[in-house]
A and B are shown apart, each in its own frame.
Chain A
Amino acid sequence: MPKRLFPSLESAPLGRLQLKIVVCVRRVPDTASRVKIASNGRSVDATDFEYVINPYEEYALEAGVQLKEKHGGEVTVLTLGPEKSTQTITKALALGADKAVHLRSESFPDDPSCSARALAEELKSTEFDILLFGKKGVDDDNQQVGQMVAELLGVPCVTQILGLEVADGKAIARREVEGGSLIVETALPAAFTAEKDLAAPRYASLRELVAARKKPVTVKEPRSQPSTLETIAVQYPPPRPPGKVVGKGVEAVPKLIQLLHEEAKVI
């Protein structure tokens, strides 16, 4: 965890809070993937993708597991996605989650509000103190689902957090904003969306991976709603002109300054 937000809380006797923690996790293509447009021109071609846990959700999961290790309790992973998400769920269980709920659908709409409604529907009947999300998926970059789920459930939500501590039925989070951070205190239950480096993810050992396969996974069918956000076309960004090298070493500096002034007109 990053530096302590509230040293006074740290020194107070904490007891075992037995936190119920839910972390929403899903699979995304690895960030190194090349992205090709599908032949219909309206979606991306997923055939060559290698999938991983969404990186922001890996930070969220680690933060959840660390809270459990400190305060006691349990971590449930909640995943909305196709059958192939099983691998992602196993990985999350190996990384310290205790059980999982898989809302399994092969053709769920690619729409943040639909995802949010399906997750909220499941969470309505789930008891939790802490609900964790990644701040966004690195595929669609929507950055909407965490706040939407929290609003549907009527629980407070702090987004883009870089630090989280829990004591006395309250949580204190550090939220990253332009030029600094905001310290936000909230009653529990509450939702949080993880910024990069909320907690440094651990590695799962082979033994943990094997043990993960024995942890309980409940499979359910999510209910979908009509889409509110529809992709009508996918394009590649306009290419940049090929690069030009001005010269080598210190001798090239006067030429660079001249080009920035006269040609690019940026200085």
Chain B
Amino acid sequence: MKGPVLVFAESSGSQLRKAALEAVTAGRRLADELKVEEYVLAIGNGLKEIGTELGKYGADRLLVCEDPSLGLFHPEFYKQIALDAIRRVAPGTILLPATSTGKDLAPRLAIHLNTGLATECVQIGLENGEFVATRPAYAGKVLLKVKINGSPKIATLRPNVFTAKEIVPRNLSVERLLFSRPDTKMTVKESVAHDAKKMDLTEANVIVSGGRGMGGPENYKILEELAEVLGGVVGASRASVDSGWRPHSDQVGQTGRTVSPTLYVACGISGAIQHKVGMVNSKVIVAINRDPEAPIFGFADYGIVGDVFEVVPALTRQLREFYGKR
């Protein structure tokens, strides 16, 4: 555990991801407990002003590596830069966001460093001076408290679980890392956006989800409208994804995304265990379903028993009025 905390601050385009700031905040807390410095590693192309921002979230030192070939995640390029940074910093702990990038990269680092990795952690800290992480398994039906035999300790942190918090800004020192492109047999050709405006479910604050009760793909329009007024995005149950109504990237549940937004509105979703495990950690759950016996009413904070095609448009209309008045 001796040695600084090193956080991988993932970016998307020129911006840091929200999940990166969450990891930097969690890293700051851990560094304080351990009385060590917090280093942050940022990799990308055309990163803007990230030093000032990272200082606000508690980083002491920033290592930046920028190159036109680093704009999109290339596992072998990123791995080499991370291993170089690790050699230089000699961290006791490494934290990464549990994003598609973090989850791809972390195991590669762990096996090279011959140490252990705890993925998708929802809690990290010290117990008797030892690094301990809590992570869901069986899609969240149980929580495992794990320790890592080996050093450094590596963990990925589930997005939207740790809170990004600004503190008194630090005077952050910045060091630029040179990138020498390694030999690789892999080329990342292009990035294809689903929908440029749509935020990923794991990062959304509000999710309006539809299930079998929506009856067909055309009916998701009313959910898009409700999501828009709430500033959220639309999700779906497995039943509606398997029916081909929505893409898999919208699926919430055991074989889809695990989400923990501030507000989750489940529309026409029964709340089977497969779905429940993916969204039960939402802060507030609202359920709208015609069937009063639906399992979702057993754990929704606020339920309305009624027809989604009547209740959802009424809710959208009245929320517009509510926001209009304020």
Instruction: Please judge, given known A-B contacts A156-B76, A180-B193, whether A37 and B137 are in contact too, CB under 8 Å.
Output: no
8 Å CB contact of B147 from A230, A237, A240, A252: A230
8 Å CB contact of B142 from A237, A254, A266: A237
Across the interface, do A228 and B301 meet the contact criterion of CB distance under 8 Å? no
Please provide the chain A residues from 216 to 261 with a CB less than 8 Å away from any CB of chain B in the complex.
226-237, 240-250, 252-254, 256-257, 259-261
Across the interface, do A243 and B107 meet the contact criterion of CB distance under 8 Å? no
**Of A83-91, A96-104, A139-147, the one touching chain B:** A139-147
Contacts of A33 in B (CB 8 A): 138
8 Å CB contact of A185 from B141, B189, B192, B302: B189
Across the interface, do A229 and B311 meet the contact criterion of CB distance under 8 Å? no
Q: Nearest CB to that of B298 among chain A residues?
A: A243
Q: Quick one: which of B140, B146, B280 has the most chain A CB within 10 A?
A: B146
Instruction: Please judge, given known A-B contacts A243-B297, A243-B299, whether A177 and B138 are in contact too, CB under 8 Å.
Output: no
Contacts of A252 in B (CB 8 A): 304, 306, 311
Q: Nearest CB to that of A6 among chain B residues?
A: B189
CA distance A246 to B52 in the complex (A): 46
Across the interface, do A231 and B145 meet the contact criterion of CB distance under 8 Å? yes
Instruction: Please judge, given known A-B contacts A143-B107, A246-B303, A256-B302, whether A180 and B194 are in contact too, CB under 8 Å.
Output: yes
Contacts of B305 in A (CB 8 A): 245, 247-249
Across the interface, do B142 and A37 meet the contact criterion of CB distance under 8 Å? yes
Across the interface, do A235 and B137 meet the contact criterion of CB distance under 8 Å? no
Q: Nearest CB to that of A248 among chain B residues?
A: B305
**Of A123-131, A157-165, A205-213, the one touching chain B:** A157-165
Contacts of A229 in B (CB 8 A): 116-118, 146-149
CA distance A190 to B76 in the complex (A): 13
Instruction: Please judge, given known A-B contacts A144-B107, A231-B144, whether A162 and B186 are in contact too, CB under 8 Å.
Output: no
Across the interface, do B319 and A190 meet the contact criterion of CB distance under 8 Å? no
Across the interface, do B140 and A177 meet the contact criterion of CB distance under 8 Å? no
8 Å CB contact of A138 from B108, B249, B255: B255
CA distance A187 to B196 in the complex (A): 30
Across the interface, do A35 and B303 meet the contact criterion of CB distance under 8 Å? no
Across the interface, do B198 and A112 meet the contact criterion of CB distance under 8 Å? no
Q: How many A-B residue pairs have CB under 8 A?
A: 271
Interface residues on chain A, size class: 35 or more
Contacts of A249 in B (CB 8 A): 304-307, 310-311
Across the interface, do A176 and B100 meet the contact criterion of CB distance under 8 Å? yes
8 Å CB contact of B284 from A148, A190, A266: A266
Across the interface, do A179 and B193 meet the contact criterion of CB distance under 8 Å? yes
Across the interface, do B139 and A31 meet the contact criterion of CB distance under 8 Å? yes
Across the interface, do B254 and A231 meet the contact criterion of CB distance under 8 Å? no
User: How far is the CB of A249 from the nearest CB of chain B, in Å?
Assistant: 4
Across the interface, do B273 and A32 meet the contact criterion of CB distance under 8 Å? yes
Across the interface, do A257 and B318 meet the contact criterion of CB distance under 8 Å? yes
A18 at the B interface (CB under 8 A): no
CA distance A4 to B125 in the complex (A): 46
Instruction: Please judge, given known A-B contacts A144-B117, A185-B187, A243-B297, whether A160 and B284 are in contact too, CB under 8 Å.
Output: no
Across the interface, do B101 and A232 meet the contact criterion of CB distance under 8 Å? no
Instruction: Please judge, given known A-B contacts A249-B304, A256-B286, A267-B319, whether A237 and B143 are in contact too, CB under 8 Å.
Output: yes
A14 at the B interface (CB under 8 A): no
**Of B31-39, B169-177, B199-207, the one touching chain A:** B199-207
B300 at the A interface (CB under 8 A): yes
Contacts of A111 in B (CB 8 A): 116
8 Å CB contact of B100 from A177, A184, A227, A231: A177
A70 at the B interface (CB under 8 A): no
> What are 22 A-B pairs with beta-carbon distances under 8 A?
A34-B141, A35-B142, A44-B142, A141-B139, A143-B107, A143-B119, A176-B249, A178-B12, A179-B199, A184-B186, A185-B187, A197-B248, A231-B144, A237-B136, A243-B298, A244-B302, A244-B303, A256-B304, A259-B302, A264-B284, A266-B262, A267-B319
Q: Which 9 A-B pairs have the closest CB atoms?
A: A228-B116, A178-B200, A187-B185, A144-B107, A249-B306, A35-B141, A180-B193, A229-B116, A233-B145
Residue ranges of B at the interface with A (Cβ–Cβ < 8 Å): 12, 72-73, 75-76, 99-101, 103-104, 106-108, 110-112, 114-120, 132, 134-150, 184-196, 198-200, 202-203, 230, 248-249, 251, 254-256, 262-263, 273-274, 280-281, 283-287, 292, 296-307, 310-311, 314-315, 318-319, 322
